[in-house]
């Protein structure tokens, strides 16, 4: 029993549980967005929001290809919504927060002629003036 308790209280199990709960809640939000806003938009543009009535029959077997079209459209719309409203903003936020430190300069300006010279140079290659170290 002690091992089971240790397993349940490990950080990654709790993190996974929280992630699943948040994922389910987010899935409900995305589904509502697609059903209530995007599907009526598709209906307004194409005139038919539901393809489930599209079928054909071969040897008394009925093929519901309209359901398949509905599933494909729903998948593409959900994937597009997640990409454009979650992935793109999150990627931009992460890119903005990762500010790279400025690179160490490899050159410096000569104190006399202001030419670019190597950082460790003792004399300027252009005017031969001594440089402070």
Q: For residue range 69-107, list pLDDT tens digits in order.
A: 777 877 887 788 788 888 899 889 888 888 777 777 889
Q: In CATH, what is the architecture of 2-97?
A: Orthogonal Bundle (1.10)
d(CA 130, CA 133): 9
Q: Where are the beta strands (DSSP E) in 1-133?
A: 56-58, 61-63, 107-109, 116-118
Domain ranges of the chain: 2-97, 107-133
Token pair recorded at residue 45: 């543009």
Classify 115 in phi/psi space as left (phi over 0), alpha (psi -120 to 50) or beta.
beta
Q: What is the pTM of this model?
A: 0.48
Token pair recorded at residue 23: 């994922």
84 close to 90: Cβ distance less than 8 angstroms: no
């Amino acid at each position: 029993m002690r091992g089971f308790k240790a397993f349940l209280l490990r950080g990654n199990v709790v993190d996974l549980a929280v992630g699943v709960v948040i994922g389910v809640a987010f899935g409900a939000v995305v589904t509502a967005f697609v059903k209530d806003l995007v599907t009526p938009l598709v209906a307004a543009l194409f005139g038919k929001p539901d393809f489930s009535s599209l079928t054909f029959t071969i040897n008394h077997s009925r093929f519901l290809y309209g359901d398949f079209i509905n599933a494909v459209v729903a998948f593409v719309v959900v994937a597009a919504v997640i990409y454009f409203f979650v992935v793109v903003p999150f990627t931009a936020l992460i890119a903005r927060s990762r500010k790279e430190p400025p690179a160490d300069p490899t050159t410096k300006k000569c104190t006399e002629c202001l030419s670019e010279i190597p950082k460790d140079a003792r004399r300027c290659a252009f005017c031969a003036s001594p440089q402070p170290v």
